[in-house]
């Protein structure tokens, strides 16, 4: 619950996109296989090298808060087809970040403590779909560049 309070507080203070990051000093993750940790690390490292966003280290975390005014601006531009990669597992979380670069100016992170041992259901995350999503999203960003809209939210 405290991570949600931190996310909301940041948005209320004027931050447009806040990510609960696994890669901050006071963050921790337990109950995840080493292979899954490595897959996530590689995807995040790839995005940080080739498509960096200032203030972001965790491109694949699903724990985040987004400015409502920015989301409305994106919806006005793209409509219901705003996200193109939802079927490639959790890569849509990265796509959301890149779409927000068109309208958002402030990106920040807060630490998160994740304990997957307390999770009641098995993860539906597929490493293959994540890798495929990284390839497709990267190709899309290479061909089209980062979204570019005039103004900000």
- Which sequence spans correspond to the domains of the chain? 2-144
Q: What is the pLDDT of residue 26?
A: 94
The tokens for 120 are 């009641």
What's the average pLDDT block by block, 10 residues per block, for the chain (153 residues)? 92 96 94 86 90 93 93 85 67 83 93 78 66 80 72 66
- The confidence score (pLDDT) of residue 98 equals 87
Q: Measured between alpha carbons, how far is 8 from 12 in angstroms, rounded to an integer? A: 6
Q: For position 144, what pLDDT does the model report? A: 76
User: Is residue 24 within 8 Å of 114, Cβ to Cβ?
Assistant: no
pLDDT at position 55, please? 95
Question: Rounded to a whole number, what is the distance in angstroms from the first to the last CA of the chain?
Answer: 28
Buried b (16+ CB within 10 A) or exposed e, 108-138: bbbbbebeeeeeeeeeeeebeebbbbbebbb
Burial class (CB in 10 A: 0-12, 13-18, 19+), 148: exposed
Backbone dihedral region of 36: left (phi > 0), alpha (psi from -120 to 50 degrees) or beta?
alpha
Instruction: Report the alpha-carbon distance of residue 148 to residue 135 in Å, rounded.
Output: 21
pLDDT for position 137: 83
**How much is the pTM?**
0.82
Q: Is 141 exposed, middle or buried (0-12, 13-18, 19+ CB in 10 A)?
A: middle
User: What confidence score (pLDDT) does residue 91 get?
Assistant: 73
pLDDT at 37: 87
């Amino acid at each position: 619950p405290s991570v949600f309070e931190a996310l909301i507080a940041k948005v209320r203070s004027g931050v447009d996109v806040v990510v609960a990051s696994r890669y901050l000093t006071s963050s921790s993750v337990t109950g995840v296989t080493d292979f899954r940790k490595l897959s996530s690390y590689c995807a995040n490292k790839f995005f940080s090298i080739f498509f960096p966003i200032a203030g972001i280290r965790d491109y694949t975390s699903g724990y985040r808060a987004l400015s409502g005014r920015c989301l409305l601006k994106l919806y006005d531009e793209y409509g219901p087809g705003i996200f193109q990669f939802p079927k490639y597992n959790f890569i849509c979380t990265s796509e959301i970040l890149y779409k927000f670069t068109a309208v958002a100016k402030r990106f920040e992170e807060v630490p998160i403590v994740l304990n997957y041992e307390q999770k009641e259901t098995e993860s539906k995350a597929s490493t293959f779909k994540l890798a495929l999503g990284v390839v497709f999203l990267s190709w899309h960003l290479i061909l089209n560049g980062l979204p570019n809209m005039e103004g900000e939210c």
